[in-house]
Chain A
Amino acid sequence: MSVQTEGTDTAGEPAVRKAGVPAPPPGEDRTSAGTPSRRAAAAPYLLLLPALLATLVLLGWPLVKNGMLSFQNLNPRQLIQHLTEWNGVDNYREVLTGGEFWHVVERSVVFTAVNVVLIMVFGTLIGLLLARLGSKMRLLLMVGLVLAWAMPIIAATTVYQWLFAQRFGVVNWVLDKLGWHSMADHNWLETQFSTFAVVTLLIVWQSIPFVAINLYAATTTIPRELYEAASLDGAGSWQNFTSVTLPFLRPFLYATTFLEVIWVFKSFAQIFAMNEGGPDHLTETLPIYAYVQGVGNQHFGLGAAISFLTVLVLLAITSYYLRMVLKQEEDEL
Chain B
Amino acid sequence: MKRSLIGRIWPNATAVVLFAGFVFPVYWMFATAFKPTGDIIADDPVWFPTHATLSHFEKAVDADHFWTLVLNSVTVTVLSVLFSLVIALFAAFALTRMRFRGRRGLIVTFMLAQMAPWEVMIIAIYMLVRDNDMLDSLVPLTVFYTMMVLPLTILTLRGYVAAVPKELEESAMVDGCTRFQAFVKVIFPLLAPGLMATSLFGFVTAWNEFPLVLILNKDVEKQTLPLWLSQFQTAFGDDWGATMAASSLFALPILILFIFLQRKAVSGLTDGAVKG
A contact set with B: CB distance below 8 Å: 1-5, 8-12, 15-21, 23, 41, 43-45, 47-48, 50-52, 54-55, 58-59, 61-63, 65-66, 69, 126, 129, 132-134, 137-138, 140-141, 143-163, 165, 167-168, 170, 173, 205, 208-209, 213-214, 217-218, 221, 252, 255, 262, 266-269, 272-273, 286-287, 290-291, 294-295, 300, 303-304, 306-307, 310-311, 314, 318, 325-326, 329-330, 332-333
Is there a chain A Cβ closer than 8 Å to B267's Cβ? Answer: yes
Is there a chain A Cβ closer than 8 Å to B156's Cβ? Answer: yes
Q: Which residue from A18, A59, A140, A153 sits with its C-beta under 8 Å from B116?
A: A59
Nearest CB of chain A from residue B276's CB, rounded to whole Å: 4
Residues from chain B with Cβ under 8 Å of A330 in the complex: 104
Task: Write the B238-264 contact mask toward A (1 if CB under 8 angstroms, else 0).
Answer: 101001101110110011011100100
A159 to B232 alpha-carbon distance, docked (Å): 13
* Known contacts A144-B22, A155-B229, A287-B117; 9 further A-B pairs (Cβ under 8 A): A2-B156, A51-B90, A148-B22, A150-B259, A153-B210, A163-B28, A269-B211, A291-B211, A304-B124
Residues B238 and A2 in contact, CB atoms below 8 Å apart: no
A138 to B111 alpha-carbon distance, docked (Å): 32
Task: Write the B7-43 contact mask toward A (1 if CB under 8 angstroms, else 0).
Answer: 0000110111011111101101100100000001110
Residues from chain B with Cβ under 8 Å of A54 in the complex: 87, 146-147, 150
Nearest CB of chain A from residue B28's CB, rounded to whole Å: 6
Residues A47 and B94 in contact, CB atoms below 8 Å apart: yes
Known contacts A20-B98, A268-B211; A5/B258 CB under 8 A: no
A159 to B251 alpha-carbon distance, docked (Å): 11
B contact set with A: CB distance below 8 Å: 11-12, 14-16, 18-23, 25-26, 28-29, 32, 40-42, 44-45, 86-88, 90-91, 93-101, 103-104, 106-111, 113-128, 143-144, 146-147, 150-152, 154-156, 158-159, 161-163, 166, 201, 204, 207-208, 210-211, 214-215, 226, 229-230, 232-233, 238, 240, 243-244, 246-248, 250-251, 254-255, 257-259, 262, 266-267, 269-276
Residues A168 and B90 in contact, CB atoms below 8 Å apart: no
- Which of A2, A153, A154 neighbours the largest number of chain B CB atoms within 10 Å of its CB? A2
Known contacts A45-B100, A155-B29, A214-B266; A147/B87 CB under 8 A: no
Residues A162 and B28 in contact, CB atoms below 8 Å apart: yes
Using CB atoms, name the residue of chain A closest to B170.
A19
Nearest CB of chain A from residue B237's CB, rounded to whole Å: 12
Residues from chain A with Cβ under 8 Å of B101 in the complex: 23
Known contacts A129-B14, A163-B28; A307/B275 CB under 8 A: no
Closest 4 CB pairs of A and B: A2-B272, A12-B162, A20-B99, A2-B155
Residues A148 and B26 in contact, CB atoms below 8 Å apart: yes
Known contacts A50-B91, A151-B251; A269/B208 CB under 8 A: yes
Residues from chain B with Cβ under 8 Å of A1 in the complex: 114, 152, 155-156, 201, 269, 272-273
Q: Which residue from A10, A156, A290 sits with its C-beta under 8 Å from B120?
A: A290
Q: Which residue from B28, B152, B211, B262 sits with its C-beta under 8 Å from A2?
A: B152
Residues B11 and A150 in contact, CB atoms below 8 Å apart: no
Residues A148 and B25 in contact, CB atoms below 8 Å apart: yes
Residues from chain B with Cβ under 8 Å of A325 in the complex: 108, 111
Using CB atoms, name the residue of chain B closest to A4.
B276
Using CB atoms, name the residue of chain B closest to A322.
B112
A8 to B141 alpha-carbon distance, docked (Å): 36
Residues A47 and B275 in contact, CB atoms below 8 Å apart: no
A40 to B159 alpha-carbon distance, docked (Å): 23
Residues A152 and B207 in contact, CB atoms below 8 Å apart: yes
Q: Which residue from A16, A140, A173 sits with its C-beta under 8 Å from B96?
A: A16
A4 to B96 alpha-carbon distance, docked (Å): 15
Known contacts A11-B275, A45-B100, A152-B207; A205/B269 CB under 8 A: no
Residues B120 and A168 in contact, CB atoms below 8 Å apart: no
A306 to B119 alpha-carbon distance, docked (Å): 12
